[in-house]
Amino acid sequence: MAALQSVVVETTPFDDQKPGTSGLRKKVKVFMEKNYTENFIQCILDALGDKVKGATLVVGGDGRYFSKPAINTIIRIASANEVSKLIIGHLGIYSTPAVSAIIRQQKVLGGIVLTASHNPGGIRHDFGIKYNIENGGPAPDYITDRIYDLTRKIKQYKITPALETDRIIDVLGTSKFNVEGRDFTVEIIDSTKNYVNLMKEIFDFNKLRALIRGTESTPPFNILLDSMNGVTGVYVRAIFVDELGASPDNNVCRIVPLDNFGEIHPDPNLTYAKDLVDKLQADNNYDFGAAFDGDGDRNMILGKNAFFVTPSDSLAVLANNLECIPYFKKHGIHGFARSMPTAAAVDRVAAKLGKEIFEVPTGWKYFGNLMDAGRLSLCGEESFGTGSDHIREKDGIWAVLAWLSVIEHKRMSVEEILKEHWKIYGRNYFTRYDYEECETQPANEMMKQLEGLIASGTLVGKSYSAGNKTYKVEKADNFSYVDPIDNSVAKNQGIRILFEDGSRLIYRLSGTGSSGATVRVYIECYEKENVLSDAQVMLKPLVDIGLQISQLKKFTGREEPTVIT
């Protein structure tokens, strides 16, 4: 085989390649700009230093528009940078949790994940690239900071232009190349096999099959899973239809991954997964519903008649019932964790069970060290993320299997399980207001104004009233976190206004958007006895106070949020 030659291409830096909460996310047309994708890929490899030489990396993503050209670029650049092997999901498809799983199973250096997660896809919408490290989790801040630094200085990238990539990801199998005398291998593998095996090890599939199919003495438990045209479709088919006997006609929907997600917003919340909500409300034969996002790490859980489980409650309920899942019987239950804006329901479970509880900044990457140190078994975020230490990403399919295991074990409906939980622990009412695509400058000014209020010290001790409620501020700060394992510090992770009765108001700017600013306001209160009220009604006074303190309407010009969760 004649050796292929690599070349060095001169380039200039882009000033907007700072990775956000989970990787670099931009409009497709930005990634299409000359050298934009090439620069970023080269900087990821440079950030890894010498370790990249001779290394194996995993590549895959949610299959959104621009995935194929991006994979071809990665193949050519990796080969020129002395990577020895790429393991790529068939057709470029790999859910984010499945990438995490295969990185761990194959014990490789890391992976490049091509996704903008829950952001819309297609030529007019978003693309994204992120790097996951050898534990299978998103790169920590020190690596993404290094990548960003490099993107601001890059002068050249290396590439093997003659390496034939056309249709390479369409066919399972191994291709070998000689690049300047070195062996370079591309292996295209089935994207589901390893992940399905992992789920079989974690859960009792026989019990779950009996739940879904029914038995002589129990009727089928009727589920409806909505993949929202995202990547989970292939996993839903492999696990729920092929393994657990769910009906491909009645129990699953939108399971063919589309590169534009069928022009929907693949974000599993009450606004963007309204189709599923409507279906469950219209047909009370369904006992359970769940939706997933584009790359399969987020989940939304619904009960009969679309009874909504907040992600914060979902985490707490799972924490309280983990022992019915074989994986936790085998590995034990260590600590729990949640991101700072996530309601504190799981903290109460941790206290009762005598487990450690951690509060980390928003971003799954902050859970990784705790898991690697054996101090964290289960964690979650209000942003529809739930997962465990089986991998280092949140995992939508896992969350549904976990919920079905709890239901199978308790023989109760979703609503009954929640009501029982609130009776024992009280209820952390929670809602999140999103103001999407605001202008960046006024949104920044609003945050600055809040910073100023905190710095002035005038908030603490002040009382605010709305409706028939009065709340007194106990503490106000900009959240900062010291990682208990490596002592790294993450500052400015969200404005917190904490009230004497435990209620909280949190303000953050989203780190996952591709343009403009999305303001998120998180509102939480706790009730010991009054647990069956409507969350929006309960939280209305605090919402009004939150809008008053932030002057959100004045700064953003928005009368109403885009999404209420």
Within 8 A by CB and 6+ apart from 544, the residues are 466, 467
- Considering only 5-13, 168-176, 466-474, 507-515, which stretch makes contact with ligand G16 by CB under 6 A? 507-515
The whole-angstrom separation of Cα 169 and Cα 426 is 51
Considering the candidates 79, 95, 100, 117, report the single residue annotated as catalytic. Answer: 117
- According to the binding rule CB under 6 A, does residue 385 interact with ligand G16? yes
3-state class (DSSP) for residue 19: coil
Q: Quick one: 151 or 510, whose CB is closer to ligand G16?
A: 510
If the CB atoms of residues 165 and 339 are measured against ligand G16, the closer one turns out to be 339
Residue 168 beta carbon to ligand G16: minimum distance, rounded to whole angstroms: 27
Residue in 100, 383, 386, 550 binding ligand G16, rule: CB under 6 A: 383
Distance separating alpha carbons of residues 92 and 114, to the nearest angstrom: 9
Catalytic residue flag (residue 117): yes
Minimal distance, residue 130 CB to ligand G16, in Å: 8
Residue 64 touches ligand G16, criterion: CB under 6 A: no
Strands (E), 311-452: 336-339, 357-360, 378-381, 385-388, 427-438
Handedness of CA 103, 109, 114, 118 (dihedral sign): positive
Q: How far apart are CA 502 and CA 439, in angstroms?
A: 32
State the minimum distance, in angstroms, from the CB of residue 297 to ligand G16: 5
Q: Does 140 bind ligand G16 (CB under 6 A)?
A: no
Stretch binding ligand G16 (CB under 6 A), from 224-232, 380-388, 412-420, 547-555: 380-388
Q: Is 368 in the site for ligand G16 (CB under 6 A)?
A: no
Give the separation between CA 413 and CA 415, rounded to whole angstroms.
Answer: 5
Residue among 64, 68, 298, 496 that touches ligand G16 (CB under 6 A) = 298
DSSP state of 237: I
Which residue's CB is nearer to ligand G16, number 265 or number 304? 265
Least separation in angstroms between CB 118 and ligand G16? 5
Rg (CA), the chain: 24
From 42, 72, 117, 232, residue interacting with ligand G16 (rule: CB under 6 A): 117
Please count the residues of this chain forming the interface with ligand G16, following the rule CB under 6 A: 18
Judged by beta carbon, residue 72 or residue 369, the one nearer ligand G16 is 369
* Closer of 113 and 188 to ligand G16 (Cβ): 113
State which of residues 92, 289, 303, 511 lies at the interface with ligand G16 (CB under 6 A).
511
Instruction: Sort strands 85-93 and 56-61 into parallel, antiparallel or unpaired.
Output: parallel
Task: Please calculate the CA angle 91-257-266 and round it to the nearest 5 degrees.
Answer: 130
Token pair for 158 = 């290396």
Please say whether the beta carbons of 23 and 131 come within 8 A.
yes
Which listed residue (37, 510, 514, 550) binds ligand G16 by CB under 6 A?
A: 510
What is the DSSP code (8-state) at residue 310? P
Nearer to ligand G16, 46 or 381 (CB): 381
Residue 97 interacting with ligand G16 (CB under 6 A): no
Give the chain's largest Cα–Cα span.
80
3 state SS of 168: helix
Q: How many residues are recorded in the chain? A: 565
| Catalytic positions | 117
Which residues contact ligand G16 (rule: CB under 6 A)?
Answer: 21-22, 117-118, 293, 297-298, 339, 362-364, 381, 383, 385, 510-512, 520
